[in-house]
Structure 1
């Protein structure tokens, strides 16, 4: 059941996240040219909805960097890691396929192949592997720090004699995590498009390569390692920064 929740949660994340990019990027969409604020807010709300759906079942990692980061500090069972990551990758691929179907009429009339690729995967604003990798590491480290901070505070919320921890954890925490992703996008997303999630980039990139998208260009596999390696390093780094500082203890 936890693997199914990770699949569904990551599919929701990708459907709504890649969907907002499609709305902004594809010709004759009513959201065309909506801008970066629309994209980052859409991704933040995509994460929120995914966490609300999957959170109580699997913890809603919906991101291999989160799974590996938590496992590296003993907050998650290593035995579950392969299943979680596999479900996340397949879910991301499936969500991207749904975006393709939702915008089926717009692929042929969109002339720019980069606009089509941007729906599915990240493209750096300035192609510099070292700088791009660094950006993804910093962004994902901030993601893990924020997630762990939100989680740590959930057990200390009360009003008078009333314990509000459950309300915070199940009611407000998913929204706060979405706002965290929104903030990362606004502040750190400009250089690379902020994958901060290997599944979010790799699954849809595979979908771009396999789907019969009219007029598509290459899937830019030469860049594809950066939104995988960067978030993995950043996720583990962010988790260890949290662990070594002792903020959660």
Structure 2
């Protein structure tokens, strides 16, 4: 392996880190606001649109460098199709996970007072005062079986990958290159609005 390849892989990893950091900061921040203020302050659709804008922002940051996968499922899928090398894919995933953790940490720091007001300073995963669903995907209620959540994750990720592969197809001329980021905004908004209740995006 050439030194130039390693430099490129590291640059791509950093791009994925910063892009995923921005996506999670914007997306989880909108979830936190919705959680703490309730529907009068923000609607469910506004949260999904914010995630869409977060994806657009991330695409503008990392798109020219790494393609802005933003999701281990995307990188691993492309690796299985031999569009990414194994080492390259591994660095993508590491950058995405670290970026997601840092984005979530900053959301917690920014809203730490609201967290304490909401749960009384006693951190809870679920329940009436649970706040873990701000940072990770959770089912709508505790009665939802695990198999249902699994199907939800598989279906949502499947639709995401179908759309990505369709947009990336060289023979697809229905969407121009400048319009593709906006297409992703609509996709993420649609997936969050239509399939986000049971669990949501597995990248979180």
Shorter-chain TM-score: what band?
0.7 to 0.9
1:9 and 1:50 in contact (8 A); partners too: yes
Render the CA deviation track for 1:146-193: whole Å, top value 9, x for unaligned.
Answer: 111122268636xxxxxxx8xx33x3212211211111111111221x
The counterpart of 2:198, out of the listed 187, 191, 197, is 191
Ranges in structure 2 where 5+ consecutive residues have no aligned partner: 1-10
The counterpart of 1:124, out of the listed 115, 119, 139, is 139
Deviates more, 1:71-80 or 1:11-20: 71-80
Ranges in structure 1 where 5+ consecutive residues have no aligned partner: 158-164, 201-249
Q: How far does residue 40 in structure 1 lie from its aligned partner after superposition?
A: 1.4
Q: Superposed, which structure 2 residues align to 1:1-249 within 5 Å?
A: 1-26=11-36, 29=37, 34-111=42-119, 113=124, 114=126, 115-126=130-141, 127-152=144-169, 156=173, 168-169=176-177, 171-192=178-199, 194-197=200-203, 200=204
Task: Measure the CA separation in 2 of the matches of 1:155 and 1:56.
Answer: 20
What is the TM-score of this pair, normalised by structure 1?
0.68
Task: Measure the CA separation in 2 of the matches of 1:32 and 1:124.
Answer: 23
Q: How far does residue 116 in structure 1 lie from its aligned partner after superposition?
A: 1.8
1:4 and 1:87 in contact (8 A); partners too: yes
Q: How many residues are aligned here?
A: 185
Aligned-residue Cα RMSD (Å) equals 2.1
